[in-house]
Amino acid sequence: MPDGGIYCKEWAPGAEAVFLSGDFNGWNPFSHPYRKLDFGKWELHIPPTEDKSPVIHHGSKIKVVIKSKSGEVLYRISPWAKYVVQEESNVIYDWVHWAPANPYKPQHEHPRRPKSVRIYEAHVGISSHEGKIASYKHFTYNVLPKIKDLGYNCIQMMAIMEHAYYASFGYQITSFFAASSRYGTPDELKELIDVAHSMGILVLLDVVHSHASKNSEDGLNQFDGTNSCFFHDGPRGNHDLWDSRLFDYSNWEVLRFLLSNLRWWIEEYGFDGFRFDGVTSMLYHHHGIGCGFTGDYNEYFGLQVDEDSLVYIMLANHMVHSLFPECITIAEDVSGMPALCCPTSQGGGGFDYRLAMAVPDKWIQILKELKDEDWNMGNIVYTLTNRRYNEKCIAYAESHDQALVGDKTLAFWLMDAEMYTNMSVQSPLTSVIDRGIQLHKMIRLLTHALGGEGYLNFIGNEFGHPEWLDFPRKGNNESYHYARRQFHLADDQILRYRFLYAFDRDMNKLEEKFGWLAAPPAYISTTHEGDKIIAFERANLLFVFNFHPYKSFTGYRVAVNTPGKYPYIFVVVAWYMIALDSDSADYGGHQRINHRTEFFSENTAYNNLPNSLLIYIPCRVALVLQNIDKY
């Protein structure tokens, strides 16, 4: 408070009495009682000392003391705690009063919301090559420049909300208002976001409002001594698969808590929006457990829908977009709930985007089950384009889900047999590594160009990180060996990882120039099963993919819609040049295409389009042709 006093307020409807204890009163549990208010609320005002300084100093430890109706005395961390720390010798987190004399003040304005969203999904703790938990400072000065260089304009920060169990990947939240102290201080996180803003990069928070940790001494569970409070009592308040508690979204104080939480992360830290985790679990009473969604509308509208949760989702999006119009919200929903990304004014959920979660599953299924010659071009295209009109999707070939131990990244599915032995340019290029590098680039470009209105990549996957992700736990002897990202591999000019890094960078830079993510959906002119060719136009670019393992084609006719402007031997033609070639030497390709080649359209109708052109398209190559007439 301005006068140096301290004001505390809690919601503990099941408590008989509430007190504040800590270093400031010698841990006397009953010397500072709260006053009971209506509706289960409690308040405490601690006046300043004679010299107007606060009684509770910055950095001191405190606890809320709850006296339950059964007479039990419980020590709890406030649900509103801004900073909690775990000392090495302790299992339980401590609530530390965070009130620095000179808090960090942002120096840069929020970037404007981009038309094309290219997201770098990142985890601070694994961002170093060292076997330890990396810091906010490390991420700011070592990883942010790489993200900028790669052409991403948005970061999705994982595992920021405090979670007691590191191996939960940040999905078992214990303190919703506290930035994880294992990476550093709140001010260091604010600096990270501010520096990202200086680079024109937005920062989204991976927010978990779908459930909460069962921890009680350093979590929300049984805060007031009852089994309800923030959560449903009984079976409805437990998620059986996640072993966590489920919020009671029908309770006004729970809504106030969660909505305030969203506003806090924006106003206090400068986040530019949210990726909401576990939306499918929120939407349905069955939480999606054992439910294979087919798209039948009966699956989305009925008694199985949790209307309280749906209303909270609508409220959250309405509040965020009303108060902060530039903010972005993304839904992680596997069910395909209709209208989830329509405005709340139309009765929709209000999200800006949904994750295209079927896309990575399709790529993994193809790599696991099919030979290259059996890939179905039509089925791939259908999966990439199967989305509702005017509901925007974030496309991705893989995310953190595919990087976790127990699954495999695309690079691992493609090359794990030889990634530790044959990735040096000083050793002969083997068929396994060659296939892996070429398909890795093609899969990502096809997903980027065709799969949605935004794109996402998980930290390190852009260069084919050679190891899975496994956090320290009992099962691996608490090892950090696989909880790290080895960026130095992409920096090493001797290793082939640099080719994948370079392609990812140039793919994003090309999108930045032409904006295909913000353009209308692509027109697909070719999905040839025998030739394994996919061709389409989007944003005045012509994309051609040859997935055939060994067939190259000369004089291959590809349809184009763009009419020509220049007369060429009394025929009006359109002029194309190569904008991106996955076969380039810069990307570990075989340099089979002359980049000085000019392609001219013919007024020859083909595949239901009025014009066409002839190209040379080698096997396992993706080409992007730029219509020079337009630029």
Active-site residue, from 206, 224, 272, 332: 332
- Give me 588's structure tokens: 């570990």
The Cα–Cα gap between 231 and 522 comes to 45
Rounded Cα distance between 49 and 171, Å, is 41
* Close Cβ partners of 178 (under 8 Å, ≥ 6 residues apart): 81, 82, 83, 84, 161, 162
Q: Which residues contact 154 (CB under 8 A, 6 or more apart)?
A: 114, 117, 118, 119, 120, 201, 202, 203, 204, 272, 328
Q: 431-450 vs 377-385: helix axis angle to the nearest 10?
A: 40
Token readout for 342 is 């329509």
Could you list the beta-strand ranges (E) of 111-193. 117-123, 154-158, 161-163, 173-179
| Three-state DSSP class for residue 420 | coil
- Closest to 469 in 3D by CA, of 491, 485, 487, 488: 485
277 is an active site residue: yes
Q: Cβ(559)–Cβ(604) under 8 Å?
A: no
What is d(CA 86, CA 193) in angstroms, rounded to the nearest whole number? Answer: 24
Distance of CA 199 to the CA centre of its chain: 19
CB proximity list for 332: less than 8 A, separation 6 or greater: 275, 276, 277, 278, 279, 280, 354, 355, 357
**How far is it, in rounded angstroms, from Cα 617 to Cα 40?**
70
Cβ–Cβ < 8 Å for 432, 412? no
Structure-block tokens of residue 28: 């006397």
Catalytic choice (277, 504, 511, 602): 277
Instruction: Tell me which residues are annotated as active site.
Output: 277, 332
